[in-house]
């Protein structure tokens, strides 16, 4: 060890803080250097030992070394610099720590939002959180449904046949697109909404009720309306006809079933007909036992007749009819197929006939309209008036005559098979002029 005199000093930090220093020296001989007892100076939190002379940097008593030639003021300034450096480093560390924590929290929130938005469930939760602080269901867009408040937020309860988060998608069901029965209609999609298109004569959202076709009184004052499926039927009073009972007709002939006589002769010549019995001047079933023929029939060509109608009545109701063009006709020539205007037998105007004649196949059947006559079972007819005679066909045989047979459908029938035929109470002829 270098035989250089060392002097040890320590500083009380309390005095240093007041700008004072207490220097204490101890002198030793040059042969034996015995370190004095080190006295700490208080810093308040720790003891700091100061060796001011040792040249051995690793001396176990040294903590701050005094550079030769440097005064005490320089030492204090160096100590202040050390404290300031430490404070500057501590401030930077604290600042960087705070910035790191802020970035970490912000990044976690953004990452959670981005990951959560990948699923419909998370998306719904986020939207629910937003809505909770607002006016609840008032701003929740349930397009085809109702808003429901749940513990986790708001959701849409969709109407039938709609799905989706906001009930925005209609269900496409090949069996029933509407998701419900359209009743009397079919389902179709319009503007993304499933609707019902009703059959004629039906109405309502699901085509659930029948429209009353008689509501507008289409039969006027001279007919009774019967509602049908998108149609109506007018039962006209006597002397009125047409689809709406607006055509006023004049009754000029009434044939009464079972009143006897050949109906052809009654019509053409007035044989065994009455012109005075008022009970026979109607199409209703009354006490009349005769045929009625108006005297005006004898002046047919002078009347300027425009239309003629042949009708069949059962139980006071018109069951079948044909309207003819009567212009330029006579008492028998009006009854021709080419003169047909319209008929309750709707396909009649387009048919071909074997016989279409008032005279018929004498002496068996009058006012005959047939498509085919052959074997009894094969006969095809629209109408036939059976007069007294002996016949082999079952439909010709009756206890009383005449009998007014007519097809009960809108087409021809088979009288020999007793299929689609009936006997009328009254056969009537009307004219317009």
Cα 249 from Cα 236, distance rounded (Å): 11
pLDDT at residue 421 is higher than 70: yes
The residue ranking higher by pLDDT, 191 or 157, is 157
DSSP state of 301: G
Question: What pLDDT, on a 0 to 100 scale, did the predictor assign at position 349?
Answer: 82
Question: What pLDDT, on a 0 to 100 scale, did the predictor assign at position 360?
Answer: 92
Q: Which residue has the tokens 């317009």?
A: 432
> How large a percentage of the chain has pLDDT more than 90?
33
Q: Where in the chain is the domain with CATH 2.10.25?
A: 120-170
Q: Is the pTM of this model over 0.75?
A: no
pLDDT at residue 16 is higher than 60: no
pLDDT at residue 132 is higher than 70: no
Cα 198 from Cα 182, distance rounded (Å): 8
* pLDDT band per the 50, 70, 90 thresholds, residue 242: confident
pLDDT at residue 370 is higher than 60: yes
Question: What pLDDT, on a 0 to 100 scale, did the predictor assign at position 50?
Answer: 43
* pLDDT band per the 50, 70, 90 thresholds, residue 389: confident
> How large a percentage of the chain has pLDDT more than 70?
65
* pLDDT band per the 50, 70, 90 thresholds, residue 110: low
Mean pLDDT over all residues of the chain? 75
The residue ranking higher by pLDDT, 351 or 96, is 351
CATH fold group of domain 120-170: Laminin (2.10.25)
pLDDT at residue 292 is higher than 60: yes
Average pLDDT over residues 109-137: 48
The secondary structure of 237-297 as a DSSP string is PTTEESTTS-EE-EEEEEEETTS-S-HHHHHHH-TTEESS-GGGSSSS--S--SEEE-GGG
The residue ranking higher by pLDDT, 257 or 107, is 257
Upper half-sphere CA count for residue 63 (Cβ side, 13 Å): 12
Here the tokens at position 338 are 């080419």
Average pLDDT over residues 235-247: 81
pLDDT at residue 43 is higher than 60: no
pLDDT at residue 73 is higher than 70: no
The residue ranking higher by pLDDT, 225 or 80, is 225
* pLDDT band per the 50, 70, 90 thresholds, residue 227: confident
Upper half-sphere CA count for residue 102 (Cβ side, 13 Å): 6
| 383 close to 366: Cβ distance less than 8 angstroms | no
pLDDT at residue 340 is higher than 80: yes
* pLDDT band per the 50, 70, 90 thresholds, residue 13: very low
Average pLDDT over residues 418-429: 91
- For the stretch 264-277, pLDDT in tens is 999 999 999 999 99
Of 48-62, 79-93, 357-371, the one with minimum mean pLDDT is 48-62
Question: What pLDDT, on a 0 to 100 scale, did the predictor assign at position 209?
Answer: 79
Closest to 330 measured CA to CA, from 342, 320, 339: 339
* pLDDT band per the 50, 70, 90 thresholds, residue 171: low
pLDDT at residue 29 is higher than 50: no
């Amino acid at each position: 060890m270098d035989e250089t005199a060392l002097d040890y000093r320590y500083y009380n930090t309390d005095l240093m803080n007041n700008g004072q220093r207490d220097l204490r020296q101890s002198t030793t001989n040059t042969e034996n250097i015995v370190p004095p007892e080190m006295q700490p100076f208080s810093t308040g939190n720790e003891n700091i030992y100061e060796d001011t002379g040792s040249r051995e940097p690793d001396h176990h008593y040294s903590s701050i070394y005094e550079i030769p030639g440097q005064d005490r003021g320089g030492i204090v300034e160096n100590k202040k610099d050390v404290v300031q450096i430490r404070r500057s480093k501590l401030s930077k560390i604290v600042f960087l720590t705070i910035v790191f924590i802020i970035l970490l929290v912000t990044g976690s929130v953004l990452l959670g939002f981005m990951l959560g938005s990948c699923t419909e469930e998370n998306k719904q939760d986020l939207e629910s959180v937003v809505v909770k602080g607002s006016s609840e269901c008032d701003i929740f867009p349930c397009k085809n449904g109702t808003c429901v408040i749940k513990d986790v937020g708001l959701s849409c309860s969709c109407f039938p046949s709609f799905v989706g988060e906001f009930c925005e998608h209609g269900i496409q069901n090949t069996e029933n697109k509407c998701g419900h029965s359209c009743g009397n209609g079919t389902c179709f999609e319009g503007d993304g909404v499933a609707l019902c298109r009703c059959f004629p004569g039906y109405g309502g959202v699901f085509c659930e009720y029948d429209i009353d076709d008689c509501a507008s009184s289409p039969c006027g004052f001279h007919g009774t309306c019967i509602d049908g499926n998108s149609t109506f039927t007018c039962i006209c009073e006597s002397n009125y006809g047409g689809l709406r009972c607006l055509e006023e007709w004049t009754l000029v002939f009434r044939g009464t079933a079972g009143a006897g006589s050949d109906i052809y002769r009654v019509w053409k010549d007035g044989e065994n007909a009455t012109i005075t019995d008022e009970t026979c001047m109607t199409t209703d079933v009354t006490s009349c036992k005769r045929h009625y023929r108006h005297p005006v029939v004898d002046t047919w060509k002078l009347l300027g007749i425009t239309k003629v109608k042949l009708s069949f009545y059962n139980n006071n109701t018109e069951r079948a009819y044909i309207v003819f063009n009567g212009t330029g006709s006579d008492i028998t020539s009006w009854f021709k197929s080419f003169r047909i205007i319209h008929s309750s037998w709707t396909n009649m105007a387009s048919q071909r006939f074997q016989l279409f004649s008032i005279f018929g196949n004498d002496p068996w059947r009058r006012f005959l309209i047939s498509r085919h006559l052959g074997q009894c079972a094969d006969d095809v007819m629209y109408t036939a008036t059976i007069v007294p005679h002996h016949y082999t066909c079952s439909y010709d045989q009756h206890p009383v005559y005449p009998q007014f047979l007519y097809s009960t459908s809108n087409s021809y029938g088979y009288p020999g098979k007793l299929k689609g035929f009936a006997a009328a109470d009254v056969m009537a002829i009307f004219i317009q002029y």
